[in-house]
Amino acid sequence: MDIGQAIRTLRTQQGITQAQLGMRCGLSDQAISNIETGKAFPPKGTIERICTALDIPTSYLVLTSLNEDDIPKEKRILYRTLLEPLRNELLDKGTLLG
């Protein structure tokens, strides 16, 4: 699981800088950098603020941060099958499961 890389990817997809994201969620650009590079792991409240700033459900960030190595081998086919439909459903419905 690499939540920092997921945040970086989502941030850059939206075309915003670390400083802009930091301003949106009340963090410094250095704090965002530390999260994105894995130097710091954000607490739940910070994750929620980042998700609000990125206008995504917390559950979407968690799903995006998973990689196949996080999934037991016997469940990886199911994971690959469900990954895109779950991402789409979370974004389309705006389902805040986090």
Q: What is the pLDDT of residue 93?
A: 55
pLDDT digits (tens, 9 = 90+) for 2-32: 999 999 999 999 999 999 999 999 999 999 9
Collapse the DSSP code of 24 into the 3-class scheme (helix H, G, I; strand E, B; otherwise coil) and give the result. Answer: helix
Q: What DSSP designation does 56 have?
A: -
Look at the pTM and tell me if it is higher than 0.75: yes
pLDDT digits (tens, 9 = 90+) for 45-88: 999 999 999 999 998 898 889 888 999 999 999 988 988 888 88
CATH architecture of 3-93: Orthogonal Bundle (1.10)
Domain residue ranges of the chain, discontinuous segments joined by + = 3-93
